């Protein structure tokens, strides 16, 4: 059987099935995949750098998951979801309702700050 280098640790091993990771790393690999999948379930539009940052999984690793088909990322522009309520939006990160809400909140904060100044 042909020998191959583990893409994670570089160890030479003979794969029993088509895999690029040695038996020692398979468990770590599955763990990484689980973490990334879970993160993307909560934040479907997170980019790879962000996912890597939050999960501690290397970007190259995440790319490999995507390439191998183990991981699917949401990239279609029509698949945006509002980051606040999860409603589908055409573009951007917030739906109209939440955008209005955020605006109101900002206005409220502004007003509060103004009131504070007045009392001084």
- Distance from C-alpha of 49 to C-alpha of 72, rounded to nearest angstrom: 16
What CA–CA distance (Å, rounded) separates 28 from 8? 9
Instruction: Establish if 98 lies at the interface with Zn ion (CB under 5 A).
Output: yes
42/6 Cα distance (integer angstroms): 30
- Is residue 22 a contact point for Zn ion (CB under 5 A)? yes
Residue 33: what are its φ and ψ, rounded to 5°? -60, -40
Closest CB to Zn ion among 56 and 92? 92
* Nearest CB to Zn ion, comparing residues 40 and 95: 95
Hey, what's the torsion of the CAs at 9, 14, 19, 21, to 10 degrees? -10
Of 25, 36, 40, 62, the residue at the interface with Zn ion (CB under 5 A) is 25
Q: Among the candidate windows 5-13, 58-66, 67-75, 106-114, which touches Zn ion by CB under 5 A? A: 5-13
Q: Which is nearer to Zn ion, 9 or 79 (CB)?
A: 9
Please identify which residue in 49, 79, 85, 102 interacts with Zn ion, judged by CB under 5 A. Answer: 85
Nearest-approach distance from CB 49 to Zn ion, in angstroms = 24
Give the helix ranges, DSSP H, for 56-93.
Answer: 59-68
Q: Is 32 in the site for Zn ion (CB under 5 A)?
A: no
Task: Count the neighbouring beta carbons within 10 Å of the beta carbon of residue 88.
Answer: 10
- What residues line the site for Zn ion (CB under 5 A)? 6, 8-9, 11, 22, 24-25, 82, 84-85, 87, 95, 98
């Amino acid at each position: 059987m042909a020998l191959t280098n583990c893409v994670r640790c570089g160890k030479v091993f003979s794969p029993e099935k088509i895999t690029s990771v040695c038996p020692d790393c398979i468990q770590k690999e599955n763990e990484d995949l689980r973490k990334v999948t879970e993160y993307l379930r909560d934040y479907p539009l997170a980019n790879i750098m962000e996912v890597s940052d939050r999960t501690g999984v290397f970007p190259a690793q995440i790319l490999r998951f995507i390439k191998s088909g183990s991981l699917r990322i949401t990239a279609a522009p029509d698949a945006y979801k509002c980051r606040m309520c999860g409603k589908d939006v055409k573009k951007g990160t917030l739906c109209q309702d939440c955008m209005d809400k955020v605006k109101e909140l900002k206005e409220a904060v502004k007003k509060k700050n103004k009131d504070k100044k007045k009392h001084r």
